[in-house]
Structure 1
Amino acid sequence: MRFQSTEIAGVVAVDLEPVTDARGFFARLHCPEEFAAAGVPFVPVQTSLSRNHAALTLRGLHYQAAQHGEAKLVRAVRGRIFDVAVDLRPDSPTHRRWTGTELSAGTGRALLIPPGVAHGFLTLEPETDVLYQIDRAFAPGHERGARWDDPAFAIAWPARPQVIAERDAAYPAYES
């Protein structure tokens, strides 16, 4: 695996290093030793799947309250997404800044999102599946969200969402 830092501390792009032959390829998606050697200690305890039927479906921006913060490794395993991480850590030098990258089943690229950073994505193709590996068990009642179109972040989404949950559309403006 290759690890590439982003402009937000702790948000790391993880690229596959496939071994190919006539059958196709084989690649590791996660290896605790390789992550630790890259200075990215991440050991998932939960794996979840988000299935999205329509292109331009938006999910997010989601995060867990501080005491229940999660790190997550996100990857498209079918289709393509524009994946976004927004730094909500008040003491961070990149507070309120965002980074976005395209994740696709074709490239296998993943994005590691640390606690305190909100996450969301926009599907770019129909029938897109997104795999989440999360470093702690979900804590019900501690989920939080920020508006996908909040001017405080000014995220440059590649298109306007066509499908969005009422909850995601109703998050209030972010207050730092």
Structure 2
Amino acid sequence: MTAAGSRTVGGVTVVPSVIEGAFRFEPAVYPDSRGLFSSPYQDAAFAEALGRPLFPVRDVSHNRSARGVLRGIHYTATPPGRAKYVYCPYGEVRDYLVDLRVGSPTYGRWEMTELSGDNCRALYIPVGVGHAFLSLRDDSVVVYVMSEGYVPANELAVSPLDPAIGLPIPDDLEIQQSDRDRAAPTLAEARERGLLDDYDLCRNVEAKLWR
């Protein structure tokens, strides 16, 4: 086991996050002279974590980022909300989950995970939980498997540089952000403006994904 409460199912270690309802998946990786093989998603491991297989998939997307690109903290207004399953098949990123659900027992907490094409780790991100990552290598690719399609008006952001959140951003990288992310409000500002969603609402919307 790699952490308290973790368990291994079919070669995948399932690790509960410090963020309520989120999980990390660490699949077996099989390297050889040709490269490597791994399965970042397996039904049995996901069902062990959440009691059911992956949500019905509505959108699969990916991005490619230069070293130093910082994306997020992104989340989707609820409803509709979006649950996400995320992994990095190429390159390396420092991935951050931030609980933005007002009333959550882990509201305001964050967790960092190194995702890469070498470790093949994946993350389940519940509805209402914010996601960000920092690319540590050029051409890092992050894949998103999502429960809902992309609607620009529903996509929101909180500043990843908000000192009250305190994400550990390395000092030795020249950070690149989109205009949207640079202008994103702090967590406190987003809450004051009513831009954050209620924990119970997010959990109820998430439960309905499988109905």
- Pair member with larger Rg: 2
Q: Which range moves more in the overlay, 96-105 or 41-50?
A: 41-50
Q: Which runs of 5+ in 2 are unaligned?
A: 1-11, 192-211
Tell me, in whole angstroms, the C-alpha distance in 2 between the residues paired with 1:72 and 1:17. 21
Counting matched residue pairs gives: 175
More helix, by proportion: 2
Tell me, in whole angstroms, the C-alpha distance in 1 between the residues paired with 2:109 and 2:29. 32
**Matched position secondary structure for 1:35:** helix
Q: Give the C-alpha shift of residue 31 in structure 1.
A: 3.0
Tell me, in whole angstroms, the C-alpha distance in 2 between the residues paired with 1:40 and 1:121. 28
User: Of the two structures, which has the highest relative contact order with CA contacts closer than 8 Å and spacing of 6 or more?
Assistant: 1
**Is the 1:71–1:135 contact (alpha carbons within 8 Å) kept by the matching residues of 2?**
yes
Q: Give the C-alpha shift of residue 91 in structure 1.
A: 1.1
2:71 pairs with 1:59: yes
Q: Give the C-alpha shift of residue 33 in structure 1.
A: 4.1
Tell me, in whole angstroms, the C-alpha distance in 2 between the residues paired with 1:140 and 1:32. 30
2:194 aligns with none
Residue-by-residue CA offset, 1:111-149 (whole Å, 9 max, x unaligned): 211111110000001111111111222233111000011
2:140 aligns with 128
Matched ranges for 1:137-176 at <5 A: 137-159=149-171, 161-175=174-188, 176=191
Percent of residue pairs bearing the same amino acid type: 34
Q: TM-score, normalised to structure 1's length?
A: 0.89
**Matched position secondary structure for 1:55:** coil
1:6 aligns with 17
**Matched position secondary structure for 1:38:** helix
**Is the 2:29–2:120 contact (alpha carbons within 8 Å) kept by the matching residues of 1?**
no
More strand, by proportion: 1
Q: TM-score, normalised to structure 2's length?
A: 0.76
**Matched position secondary structure for 1:163:** coil
Matched ranges for 1:83-102 at <5 A: 83-102=95-114
- Taking structure 1 as reference, are residues 33 and 151 closer, same or farther at Cα in structure 2, changes over 3 Å only? same
**Is the 1:82–1:158 contact (alpha carbons within 8 Å) kept by the matching residues of 2?**
no
Tell me, in whole angstroms, the C-alpha distance in 1 between the residues paired with 2:136 and 2:51. 28
